[in-house]
Amino acid sequence: MEFLDEELQQYCDDHTSPEPELLKKLNRETHAKVMMPRMLSGHLQGRTLAMFSQMLRPQQILEIGTYTGYSGICLAEGLAENGTLHTIDINDELEDMVRRYFQEAGLENKVNYYLGNALEIIPTLNQTFDLVFIDADKINYSHYFDLVIDKVRPGGFIIADNVLWSGKVLEKFRKKLDKDTEALLHFNQKVQDDERVENVLLPIRDGLLVIRKK
């Protein structure tokens, strides 16, 4: 996942707005108590998501993959007045932690938190979204894209995380073509070939694919 020279990465962090204290706390607790803490967005990616949201001032955000709530709190920083973050996760073991941090962030009335299978939940959502963040199981990225594209307004954005998959999208960095890598290769090409969107792949952390619906 580390693509930049360590000192250059630190320079980027040092010249990015500081991580808010609440998110520092959530970052520490995630690393101390939760399995696979590398799934957390972290400082640089978190500030990137917050910046996108601040630029868009979205009324409706959909997040697929809540984890411990870090990225959701970042995305919610740009919500328009009376805006809502809809966030979906399948892991109910993290529910108490997620709700606690949403409440501490003052978001308890701005978040709709869904527990269950996103493939089943997304079709039940009737909102038109300004911003969608996909950061869940990689196998289903293409399915998530298909489910949300018609729910995104023209000019709205989809951001997909982990699209570089620790470099394994390049053959020289993988030992074999596992199912997750194959799914991401398919997803990245699917977006590239889709005439309904324009896109740019940013090598931030593990890769952010930023997709604008025309």
| pLDDT tens sequence across 117-137 | 999 999 999 999 999 999 999
What are 63-96's pLDDT values in tens digits? 999 999 999 999 999 999 999 999 999 999 999 9
3-class SS of residue 136 = coil
Q: Answer yes or no: are the C-beta atoms of 88 and 116 closer than 8 Å.
A: yes
- Residues 3-25 have a mean pLDDT of 91
Q: Is the pLDDT of residue 107 over 90?
A: yes
Burial class (CB in 10 A: 0-12, 13-18, 19+), 161: buried
pLDDT value at residue 36: 85
Instruction: Give residue 37's pLDDT.
Output: 84
Given this model, what pLDDT does residue 174 score?
85
What is the per-residue pLDDT across 157-205, written as a single tens digit (0 to 9) for each? 999 999 999 999 999 888 889 999 999 999 999 999 999 999 999 999 8
* Statement: the pTM of the whole predicted model exceeds 0.75: yes
* 85/68 Cα distance (integer angstroms): 15
Q: Look at residue 203 in the predicted model and tell me its pLDDT.
A: 92
CB atoms within 10 A of CB 33: 11
- Expressed in angstroms, the distance from the first to the final Cα of the chain is 31
Domains, the chain? 6-213 (3.40.50.150)
